[in-house]
Structure 1
């Protein structure tokens, strides 16, 4: 029996699955990549026990950290204090993710779809929504704080100076993935490069960068290049220093 035509595919994993390998397959498998495009990673968090689960389980932290959309469930059973504490913890772990509260299992589907780089047509780009990184003035070279090593999952934004050249920066991105891939849970960025006609969206998971996507027909009032990195057990300052070596 033929499978009816469909526009979207939702992959539901087990509760404690590592999202990294799934993202990697979507990005690196040629057959899959030719047919499917990653829209968003949606993660549900228990409103009652979620804060403790994030504290106790590494996989729960990783799921929340790489998410584009976070759904807080069982809000009818959780107290306002529990919800507030959980939202604060999730924001600290992944400030770029959109949070929504689910009441009695109901959520507007519009909040879950077209949350990625493109809309449903695959033509209109929405990179600011996809990246969800604050615009910050770039930090000049030589002003990094003292070296430190993190043993926790964290997300941070690196704002790059103007004057980028993609042919020069591309090997740096590859080197970053090769050097810090084990702890590089996810990388997303928007680059304004002098040798490119359009801004570029970049994306990487662990050791593999995905081919850059030209953002045709889109630009910013402030053309600021920035990269959001979600990491675990890597030297944040070493990553920033490497990205500044262009």
Structure 2
């Protein structure tokens, strides 16, 4: 069991309902051991954020310092003042010194125009961050009315959908059935592996967005198949060669690796793949059954940065199959497949 603090990256395009969702989640008893970093309103303080929410009359809070508030629900909230890594380190050290409650998970709310890839990549490069936090899931909100147009017109919105583990369709009360169904189909074509949930007035069961990654907190067991969320089908018809995508086209595919396989041989290939294709490599996830490892490995990379692999002790498959999911923008699928299959 990985004992690092799980991190949920909550993002979504401007006006898609992230803050409304977050306010409702903070009021849920299931979230009591959660710390939240809010990076949506610039220099606005937490009091202003909550004053503009429908939780205003229900919140009792205690200021721990000028940018950190402990809510009566047990959630710890802070606004982002410096670099994200600095804020995460500060929270962890305060937690270790018992200056703040011992939170069990962290949610990071990003700005609406944020590309989640560089955020994830930067965190992976920070030794203290990597040793104390682990990514649980990328959760993305999409406006049921305007989401389809936003995905079409804005590359940031498209990337957010492409790398998501969980897609939340918001403001469903304002959209027609046809709009919702068309959006759902579009999301499936972009990211077949992500789970989809509807959100009405910000109401959502926390179990859909927290502890949904590599480890199940309740059972303390690895759930790599759930985390991998490999596409159930390939977009390439059987018998045809993969084609190079257009520059702004998002593609997702799974590479099933040959047997036998050794991590010492695959690791430099993954590193090289990240260096060559990093600019357009939005996300890489895989489960590797390597003969030179005592247990299967979960591997993960974003852009140029591979994340240290996680040893899945105590977990295995009846039919061990190594597979890697690639999500990228304008990448040459055939070239990447050839690179990986040369191991």
* TM bucket, shorter chain: over 0.9
SS of equivalent residue, structure 1 residue 16: coil
Match in the other structure for 1:48: 145
Match in the other structure for 1:120: 217
SS of equivalent residue, structure 1 residue 37: strand
Picking from 306, 331, 341, the partner of 1:209 is 306
Pairwise mapping of residues 166-181 of structure 1 onto structure 2 (< 5 A)?
166-181=263-278
Q: For the residues of structure 1 that align with 2:324 and 2:143, how far apart are their CA atoms?
A: 29
The answer to whether the 8 A contact 1:26-1:37 is kept is no
The answer to whether the 8 A contact 2:231-2:253 is kept is no
SS of equivalent residue, structure 2 residue 227: helix
The answer to whether the 8 A contact 1:47-1:73 is kept is yes
Question: 1:120, CA displacement in angstroms?
Answer: 2.6
Q: For the residues of structure 1 that align with 2:262 and 2:301, how far apart are their CA atoms?
A: 19
Q: Which has the larger radius of gyration?
A: 2
Q: For the residues of structure 2 that align with 1:188 and 1:75, how far apart are their CA atoms?
A: 31
SS of equivalent residue, structure 2 residue 226: helix
Matched, 1:150 2:246: yes
* TM-score (norm. length: structure 1): 0.92
Pairwise mapping of residues 128-139 of structure 1 onto structure 2 (< 5 A)?
128-133=225-230
Question: 1:147, CA displacement in angstroms?
Answer: 5.0
* TM-score (norm. length: structure 2): 0.67
Greater alpha carbon shift after TM alignment, 103-112 vs 145-154:
145-154
Question: 1:43, CA displacement in angstroms?
Answer: 0.4
Question: 1:119, CA displacement in angstroms?
Answer: 2.3
The answer to whether the 8 A contact 2:145-2:175 is kept is yes
Q: For the residues of structure 1 that align with 2:142 and 2:127, how far apart are their CA atoms?
A: 32
Question: 1:122, CA displacement in angstroms?
Answer: 9.4
Match in the other structure for 2:125: 28
- How many residues align? The count is 241
Question: 1:3, CA displacement in angstroms?
Answer: 2.4
Match in the other structure for 1:9: 106
Judging changes above 3 Å, is the alpha-carbon distance between structure 1 residues 240 and 150 closer, same or farther for their aligned structure 2 residues?
A: farther
Matched, 1:86 2:183: yes
Question: After TM superposition, what 4+ stretches of structure 1 lie above 6 angstroms from structure 2?
Answer: none
Q: For the residues of structure 1 that align with 2:203 and 2:232, how far apart are their CA atoms?
A: 33
The answer to whether the 8 A contact 1:26-1:38 is kept is no
The answer to whether the 8 A contact 2:193-2:232 is kept is no
Q: For the residues of structure 2 that align with 1:21 and 1:121, how far apart are their CA atoms?
A: 30
Pairwise mapping of residues 85-104 of structure 1 onto structure 2 (< 5 A)?
85-104=182-201
Q: CA RMSD in A?
A: 1.9
Q: For the residues of structure 2 that align with 1:210 and 1:124, how far apart are their CA atoms?
A: 20
Matched, 1:234 2:312: no
Q: For the residues of structure 2 that align with 1:222 and 1:207, how far apart are their CA atoms?
A: 31
Q: Which has the higher strand share?
A: 2
Match in the other structure for 1:199: 296
Q: For the residues of structure 2 that align with 1:213 and 1:27, how far apart are their CA atoms?
A: 13
SS of equivalent residue, structure 2 residue 106: coil
Unaligned runs of 5+ in 1: 137-142
Q: For the residues of structure 1 that align with 2:232 and 2:115, how far apart are their CA atoms?
A: 30
The answer to whether the 8 A contact 1:150-1:235 is kept is no
SS of equivalent residue, structure 2 residue 136: coil
